Amino acid sequence: MKRTVTRLADGRELIYFDRRDDADRSAPDLRDLPPRPPASELRRDPLTGDWVAIAGHRQNRTFHPAADACPLCPSTPGRPTEIPSADYDVVVFENRFPSFSATPGDLAQAGGLSEVRPGIGRCEVVCFTSDHEASFADLSPGRAALVMEAWADRTAELSALPGVEQVFCFENRGREIGITLGHPHGQIYAYPYVTPRTLRTLAMAASHAERTGRDLFADVLAAEREAGVRVVAANDHWTAFVPAAARWPFEVHIYPHRRVPDLCGLDAAERASFGPLYTGVLRRLDGLFGVAMPYVAAWHQAPISTDRKLSYAHMELFGVRRASNRLKHLAGSESAMGAFVNDVRPEDAADLLRRVVTT
């Protein structure tokens, strides 16, 4: 893998990840860009303790441009984009409209009981391919492995930044999910706090360890592999299964067979074998109803400075289509109370996914 670091016209970092050592990434960004926005504010909800980022500059971010105006495609003569090169394998760059950044800003006097502090952190965009019409499911094993290398690289780099407490790699796919750019890409958030979901999960892991002396995630994986009824796919290093208490109609968790706290801990064989299994799961999701499945794919990694021995890196993937013409919406119970109701039995979902013929 060749890794080339450069800068965009406004000073944001851009990193090319190439499979060829002779890739030339010297093309400069000649655009005249406005100054980078200041860091968001973090306000703490006094009722839940959760941090909320207030990032008003994101209201004006790019929204569903035409394919020939996509900012994630390679640059062409007369049409510069976020990627100056005329082609690329995998690219990571700092988000132009970040939820968190290191750029100083003034804090508002919000009043009330909310604690306020700067939203110091970093947000990056990961472009999986230069092909605007492709998806992650279309990636070759080599390209998927290169994305995995980029995720691990960025996890290590961002974890070392001052004030960062957790690194989150994810992909939102489909207009139904709320994406604003159709080009195949994901994002990485370097949070200045540990997220609520992680805190809650690690509290359960700590309770399980105190009660049994065992690892909660490893026990979940072992139980699913033994039961088998919800397993969708597996290889020597990974198992993909529908969780017994799935919240979403088609939800798949993908665990490595060996516990590591984050993606940096995966060895070469584990990194290489993830892609073929994962793209196969994505093709099953797309094949369920013969229409692209809108989904969120989320890597759960250990916080940087706490509870690393309790953590078990894994992916949680959920699709929001419950039938060919029906979506799962987060309505009253889910949105207001956080109490999910799933219309599809997890065992049925796993069976349907296993039956999909993939090529």
**Does residue 231 sit in the same domain as residue 124?**
no
Lowest mean pLDDT among 102-111, 201-210, 317-326: 102-111
SS3 75: coil
Residue that terminates a domain, selected from 143, 159, 194: 194
Instruction: Clarify whether residues 90 and 167 are in a common domain.
Output: yes
Residue 108, pLDDT score = 72
Q: Which of 224, 303, 238 is nearest to 267 (CA)?
A: 238
* Tens of pLDDT, residues 95-140: 999 999 998 777 876 678 889 999 999 999 999 999 999 999 999 9
Three-state DSSP at 349 gives helix
Give residue for tokens 């793209």: 279
In the residue annotation, 185 being an active-site residue is answered as yes
Q: What is the pLDDT of residue 110?
A: 66
The tokens describing 40, both together, are 């968001």
Measured CA to CA, the distance from residue 261 to residue 300 in angstroms comes to 9
Q: Which of 101-115, 217-231, 252-266 has the lowest mean pLDDT?
A: 101-115
pLDDT value at residue 42 = 94
Is the Cα dihedral 334, 247, 309, 118 positive or negative? negative
Q: Are residues 156 and 242 in the same domain?
A: no
The answer to whether residues 264 and 233 belong to one domain is yes
Domain of 312, in residue numbers: 197-355
Q: Give the H/E segment covering residue 200.
A: helix 196-212
Mean of the pLDDT values across residues 151-162?
Answer: 98
Whole-number average pLDDT of the chain: 96
- Residue 187: which H helix or E strand, with range? strand 185-191
**193 in helix, strand or coil?**
coil
Contact in structure between 131 and 139 (CB atoms under 8 Å): no
**Are residues 187 and 209 both part of a single domain?**
no
Whether residue 216 sits in one domain with residue 144: no
| pLDDT value of position 107 | 80
Give residue 104's pLDDT: 75
**What is the arithmetic mean of pLDDT over 149-160?**
98
CB atoms within 10 A of CB 67: 10
Query: 153-192 burial, b if ≥16 CB within 10 A, otherwise e?
Result: bbbebbbeeebbbbbbbbbbbbebbebebbbbbbbbbbbb
Q: Between β-strands 90-94 and 13-18, what pairing exists: parallel, antiparallel or unpaired?
A: antiparallel
Q: What is the dihedral of CA 230, 280, 135, 291, to 10 degrees?
A: -60
Instruction: Please check whether residues 204 and 150 belong to one and the same domain.
Output: no
Share of the chain above pLDDT 70, in %: 99
| Residue 17's CATH number | 3.30.428.10
Q: 136 with 263, same domain?
A: no
Distance CA 321, CA 46 (A): 35
Domain count, the chain: 2
User: What single-letter DSSP state applies at residue 93?
Assistant: E
pLDDT at 312: 98
Query: Both 46 and 132 in a single domain?
Result: yes
Question: Which residue among 154, 179, 194 closes a domain?
Answer: 194
217 and 175 part of one domain: no
Angle formed at CA 259 by CA 318 and CA 16, multiple of 5 degrees: 65
User: Which tens digit of pLDDT belongs to each residue from 232-249?
Assistant: 999 999 999 999 999 999
SS3 content of the chain, % helix, strand, coil (to 5): 25, 25, 50
For residues 27 and 64, membership in a common domain is answered with yes
- Catalytic annotation, pick one of 185, 253, 300, 314: 185
Q: Are 107 and 150 in contact (CB under 8 A)?
A: no
pLDDT at 63 over 90: no
Residue 311 has pLDDT above 80, yes or no: yes
Domain boundary among 140, 161, 194: 194
Q: Three-state SS across 203-223?
A: HHHHHHHHHHCCCHHHHHHHH
Q: Are residues 185 and 87 in the same domain?
A: yes
CA gap 315, 168 in Å, rounded: 11
178 contacts: CB under 8 Å, gap ≥ 6? 172
